[in-house]
Amino acid sequence: MLCGLEGLQDVTVDGDEAHLTITVVSGQEPSHFSEHGTLKLVPAGFGTSPDVEQVTLVLEGRPAVTYDRAEVQDAVYGEALPRPVFLGLFSAKWLLESRGHLGEPDQSALVTLPLTDLHVFSIAAGFAEPLQAGNLRSAAATVDAARRRLQEVVPRQARTELTARADAELQVLADTMRRLADCCDDPLNGGDAPRAFAALHASVAASSDIGNAARTIRDDTAAAG
């Protein structure tokens, strides 16, 4: 169970076949402690048995954080999320619940940037040639699933301004793709297409600006050590 790796020591496992509790003591100073190393214990816990439905992770001195099996799978609400979004929200949940806050540098790297990447990914998926209503609706459904998961992990009151803006642009994107899917299905709705494409172009530009701002925060924080 990764005991002794990533600066971890005194890893103990309790519970029953359906719910494991993993308690960890860090072998390093907190400033050097690897959050990523701690999180590796969660999928490892689920990997011990297919009967395990929940894993609670406890880092000594912090509140416990419980994950359901579905949270270590990249399909949420039946939709496969891009891996950066899945991993970012997985890590964000740990930091927010175990620390009680998710600062702007962490949120920019783990949440905001993956959301802007999702914007790009969804456009590529939705507008794959040949243009089809089914592709547009499928991409919109993926965006909807990511936004629901975001609400579960990082509620609105815990979001930075950049994350809130990134989420808003994803809503615009999903709504616009559904409008364009309707245009594909029914030529009588074609008059809405120019307005929908204008909204799409504006959203792309806005999401790109948000991603650049989040990337600057992330990189400046990393450079500062």
Average the pLDDT over each of 37-46, 53-62, 175-184, 211-220 and give the range with the smallest value: 37-46
- pTM, two decimals, is 0.87
Q: 48-66: buried (b, 16+ CB within 10 Å) or exposed (e) per residue? A: eeeebebbbbbbeeeeebe
- pLDDT value at 18 more than 60: yes
Q: At 90, which amino acid appears?
A: F
Q: Give me the mean pLDDT over the 85-110 stretch.
A: 92
Mean pLDDT of the region 91-114: 93
Q: How far apart are CA 208 and CA 204, in angstroms?
A: 6
Instruction: State which amino acid sits at residue 159.
Output: R
- pLDDT band of 130, cuts 50, 70, 90: confident
Phi-psi region of 83 (alpha: psi -120 to 50; beta: other; left: phi over 0): alpha
The proportion of the chain whose per-residue pLDDT surpasses 90, expressed as a percent, equals: 62
Domain definitions of the chain by residue range: 8-73, 82-223
Alpha helices in the chain (DSSP H): 35-39, 41-47, 83-99, 104-107, 113-126, 133-153, 161-185, 193-223
**From CA 12, how far away is CA 9, in angstroms rounded?**
9
